[in-house]
Structure 1
Amino acid sequence: MNDFEKAPRIYVGTYGQYNNGSLFGKWFDLSDYENLKDYLQDCFEFHRNELDPELMFQDWENIPDFLISECSLHQIAFAYFEAISEMDEDTAEAFEIYSNHINSWPSNGYELEDQLECFRENYRGYFGGAMKDAKLDYAYQYVEDAGMLFGAPAALERYFDYESFARDLFLDGHSEYGGHIFIDY
């Protein structure tokens, strides 16, 4: 996948044109801009044929819904894009999941650095994949990393119920989204 396919983009029209039956607009690649001010300035310049254009974001790609709506792009969006550009694809996906489903960012009021720190503390990794049970795989690793069966006779280890242990982990304190595992406290 090339960078163009992952670039955050917005198709920008105006409410005035939309109300007159036109979807006229332009795709803007946000990676061409350093900040929201420069981006909006270009949008208004493109729609300079209207007296007072009211921008309408009619479509977008590679932008999480918690950062955009039909009429606004969150001011923190460019810092978010910069932060995820430094992550590998799985980590960036996990950060989006964490921000959207677990920690409700940016509406939780955290600064981006605080959100990233919480994410790093709570993300346990990707345990998914074809034909895998992420929760069960995580339970096996959890038991091994914690040394829970260290020193137990091999005969006893065979009777440890990993499925039940995994179920209990995810009933209280752990979450799984698409193979990504998080602790919830």
Structure 2
Amino acid sequence: MYAGVYVGTYKKYNEGNDNKLAGKWLDMSDYDSYDDFIAACKELHKDEDEPEFMFQDFDFDSEVRPLLKQLVKGSQVDPQAWDVFELDSEGLTCVLAAWGNYDSDLSVKEALEEGRKSYIGSYDSEPGDYVYDFLEEILKALPGSVDPKTGELYRTY
């Protein structure tokens, strides 16, 4: 997965260099951790004593874009971005759903847990089957409900 960030510094931008975007594209997913990424940013701008990084542009693969847009902002990259890189497509869906439906202040790991609790399937996997299975589970919990395939009662009380 590609998670490109253009890394410049506020000093270079404010000094009005010929190229105000004096930096370089780095793929965040190439680094094992936030600390490794920041070390690469420091190496890139080692000509400054204490560089204040400016993440001036972003280019994220579509599957991670909605999540990373919340974690990468002008002068800040949230270390949780590396939790996003570990997610499979179902995990990405769960986190995005939890942030959208519950609380965007949840951490990536908390959102994954919340999303998995309520995840019942994906529309593109066997359309309708997951809905049928979900409804069947609900029917089983109702007193006096009947199995549509066998005609037997699920529960008799």
Q: Please report the TM-score for the alignment, with normalisation by the length of structure 1.
A: 0.59
- Please point out which of 5, 8, 12 is paired with 2:7: 12
Q: Which residue identity lines up with residue 102 of structure 1 in the other structure?
A: N
Q: Could you say what secondary structure the match of 1:24 adopts?
A: coil
Q: Could you say what secondary structure the match of 1:53 adopts?
A: coil
Total equivalences in the alignment: 134
Query: Percent of counterpart pairs with the same letter?
Result: 27
Q: Which residue identity lines up with residue 69 of structure 1 in the other structure?
A: K
Cα deviation 1:29-76 (Å, max 9, x = unaligned): 122211111111110111112233210011123352221111111122
The correspondence of residues 35-184 of structure 1 with structure 2, limited to 5 A, is 35-62=33-60, 63=65, 64-82=68-86, 84=87, 87=88, 89=89, 91-105=90-104, 107-108=105-106, 110=107, 112=109, 114-127=110-123, 137=128, 141=132, 142-147=134-139, 150=147
2-structure distance, mates of 1:111, 1:31: 16
1-structure distance, mates of 2:11, 2:80: 27
Q: CA RMSD in A?
A: 3.0
Structure ranking higher in helix proportion: 1
1-structure distance, mates of 2:51, 2:117: 44
Question: Which residues of structure 1 form unaligned runs of 5+?
Answer: 1-5, 152-185
Question: Which residues of structure 2 form unaligned runs of 5+?
Answer: 140-144, 149-157
Per-residue deviation, 1:12: 0.5
**Structure 1 pair 104–116 and aligned structure 2 pair: CA distance change class (3 A):** same
